[in-house]
């Protein structure tokens, strides 16, 4: 939202380019939009020759040329983009009314994004925050230690709390929890709360097969349901890529989250 507001403030003459109709195989779906100014852009309609044509057309309109406000583009060999579908683009100058409409639309879209709670602001937690920031997800980092969290992207919310396990109850069904605190006992407590709900799309915990076995033992000793662990992703990030660098783990976990939270869209 901040990026959109900044773009509109910085560039007073802007044209909206929107995919009005998408038929067959197309780079982006109907409703996708981008903004074009004389020397800058915000968003994308999928790149390639289609986007190049759209930008060129939008800037010609901005310069005052009397061109149509719609383009019907077959995505075939004639434009060098062999998607096989057909896209109709709509162009509109962005006035204050349309600008506010776009802000409200983006806010509604973002409010509908799946939510991820990331417990722990260590190296991997911060790397995961960086990986999640540009994705269509709402992410909140939960930290118990009362200290600054460096390099946290503006898109990621941060809450310092004394009892992080309580935060699990506030999460809506179908969302996700990723657990990577500085304390194994705290990890286990949060995981038990999350798994006991039974309605979350993803519950993951950083660690190894040994940690998984330790959690199973802890759960049994604490009187928990042993079957809860069947819904726990541990280790997180899969086993195909064996690399323990935080940025690599974060990328793999981000892919797992998209698969769990956006089936058919990831």
66 phi and psi angles, rounded to 5 deg: -80, 80
* CB-CB neighbours of 1 under 10 Å: 12
CA distance 146 to 132: 23
Placement of tokens 């074009």 in the chain: 36
Give the DSSP letter of residue 12. Answer: S
Q: How many CB atoms lie within 10 A of CB 65?
A: 9
CB atoms within 10 A of CB 157: 15
Same domain, 117 and 156: yes
> Does one domain contain both 119 and 105?
no
- Count up the domains in the chain and report the number: 2
CA distance 110 to 98: 18
Residues 224 and 106 in one domain: no
Q: By three-state DSSP, how is residue 87 classified?
A: strand
CATH number, residue 183: 3.40.50.720
In angstroms, the CA 103 to CA 2 distance is 10
Which residue among 59, 84, 110 closes a domain?
Answer: 110
Q: How many residues make up the chain in this entry?
A: 266
Cα–Cα distance measured from residue 254 to residue 216, given in angstroms and rounded to the nearest whole number: 25
Of 58, 88, 110, the position where a domain reaches its end is 110
Same domain assignment for residues 122 and 246: yes
In a domain, 246, yes or no: yes
The domain containing residue 202 runs over which residues? 113-261
Domain boundary at 89, 110, 131, which? 110
- Both 249 and 138 in one domain: the answer is yes
Side-chain-facing half-sphere of 130: CA atoms under 13 Å: 15
Report which secondary-structure segment, H or E, holds 52.
helix 48-62
| pTM for this entry | 0.81
Helix (H) or strand (E) holding 119: strand 115-119
Residue 266 forms part of a structural domain: no
For residue 3, the model assigns a pLDDT of 83
DSSP state, residue 154: T
Residues 120 and 159 in one domain: yes
Other CB atoms within a 10 A radius of the CB of residue 231 amount to 15
Q: What is the pLDDT, as a whole number, of residue 31?
A: 85
pLDDT tens-place values along the chain, 266 residues long: 568 888 888 898 999 999 988 887 777 788 889 999 999 999 998 878 888 889 999 999 999 999 999 888 776 655 555 556 778 899 999 999 999 999 998 888 888 999 999 999 999 999 999 999 999 999 999 999 888 888 889 889 999 999 999 999 999 999 999 999 998 999 999 999 999 989 999 999 998 889 999 988 888 887 778 788 889 999 999 878 888 899 999 999 999 999 999 876 54
């Amino acid at each position: 939202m901040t990026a959109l507001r900044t773009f509109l403030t910085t560039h007073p003459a802007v044209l909206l380019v929107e995919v009005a109709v998408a038929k067959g195989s197309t780079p982006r779906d109907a409703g996708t939009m981008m903004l074009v100014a004389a020397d800058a852009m915000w968003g994308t309609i999928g790149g390639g020759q289609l986007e190049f044509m759209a930008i060129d057309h939008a800037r010609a309109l901005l310069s005052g040329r009397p061109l149509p406000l719609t383009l019907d583009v077959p995505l075939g060999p004639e434009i060098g983009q062999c998607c096989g579908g057909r896209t109709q683009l709509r162009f509109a100058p962005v006035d204050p009314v349309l600008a506010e409409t776009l802000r409200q639309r983006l806010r509604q879209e973002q409010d509908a994004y799946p939510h991820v709670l990331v417990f722990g602001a260590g190296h991997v937690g911060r790397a995961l925050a960086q990986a999640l920031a540009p994705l269509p997800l709402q992410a909140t980092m939960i930290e118990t230690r009362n200290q600054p969290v460096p390099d946290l992207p503006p898109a990621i919310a941060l809450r310092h709390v004394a009892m992080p396990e309580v935060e699990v109850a506030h999460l809506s069904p179908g969302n996700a929890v990723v657990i990577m605190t500085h304390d194994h006992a705290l990890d286990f407590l949060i995981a038990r709360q999350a798994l006991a709900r039974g309605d979350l799309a993803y519950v993951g915990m950083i660690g190894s097969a040994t940690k998984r076995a330790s959690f199973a033992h802890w759960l049994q000793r604490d009187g928990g349901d042993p079957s809860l662990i069947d819904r726990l992703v541990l280790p997180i990030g899969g086993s195909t890529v064996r690399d323990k660098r935080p940025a690599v783990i974060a990328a793999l976990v981000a892919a797992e989250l998209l698969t769990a939270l956006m089936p058919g869209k990831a």
